[in-house]
Amino acid sequence: MKKTDPMMNSSIKIFLVRHASPNWDLKNIPYDIHPGPPLSARGEIEAGQAATFLRAHNVVKLYYSPFERSARTAQIIAAHNQIPAVEEKRLSEWRQADEIGEKVRERMSAVFGEIVKESAGVGPIGLVSHGGPINFLLLALGFDEQRLAEFRKKFDGFNPLPPAGIWAARAEPDANSWALNLVFVPPTDGDIV
């Protein structure tokens, strides 16, 4: 996805947030059908850690998937940082049985394009979604597929970031592209009390 909007400048920054850890023990709740599993106690802590990171980066607004784990992650971040959070269905989990990857890429790219325009006027914005859809968006924004595969080997479920992990997309106007970096990984189990 190339930037073509003349409003685009290097101050545009969008944070791609994966929901915090859900309750993996609830095997009877489908992961990819709304509402999906809720956050675990650990997920609640991770969401608070992500909130602290996003506050330090002056995020002014969130959009989030309607799935329970994403909505709760966004609610914690929004409350912690006293910012608005808006549900956005296009940020939903990828339901592989019903949706081909290209459709996920299209819906994620569409919402990203709209948020970029908004961010140009208000400042950094966060999108709380899921690993699969974030993966498709990173590819649409030009991230190298082989490099992304290396990230996917590191995290659960072959996702490009851990629960409550955050990628930053910063506009690079001279190159007409995006600087994409994994900027936040919550502490490991031993670090959470």
Q: Where are the domains of the chain?
A: 13-191
Per-residue model confidence as pLDDT tens digits over 103-114? 999 999 999 999
Q: Do 134 and 160 meet the contact criterion of CB atoms below 8 Å apart? A: yes
The class that CATH gives domain 13-191 is: alpha beta
Per-residue model confidence as pLDDT tens digits over 172-184? 877 678 999 999 9
Has residue 9 got a pLDDT over 80? no
Q: In this predicted model, which residue has the larger pLDDT, 32 or 190?
A: 32
* Burial class, 74, CB count within 10 angstroms (exposed 0-12 / middle 13-18 / buried 19+): buried
Has residue 192 got a pLDDT over 80? no
The whole-number pLDDT of residue 89 equals 98
Q: Do 189 and 71 meet the contact criterion of CB atoms below 8 Å apart? A: no
Has residue 187 got a pLDDT over 90? no
Has residue 123 got a pLDDT over 60? yes
Tokens of 91: 């940020």
Residue type, 164: A
Q: By C-alpha distance, which of 131, 191, 140 is closest to 167?
A: 131
Residue type, 53: F
pLDDT classification of 3: cutoffs 50, 70, 90: very low
Has residue 72 got a pLDDT over 70? yes
Query: What does residue 127 show for φ and ψ, rounded to 5 degrees?
Result: -115, 115
Contacts of 62 (CB under 8 A, 6+ apart): 17, 74, 77, 78, 83, 84, 85, 86, 125, 126, 127, 128
Give the CA distances from residue 188 to residues 64, 76, 112, 148, 154, in Å, rounded to whole numbers and listed in that order. Answer: 24, 20, 30, 21, 13
Tokens of 56: 């330090």
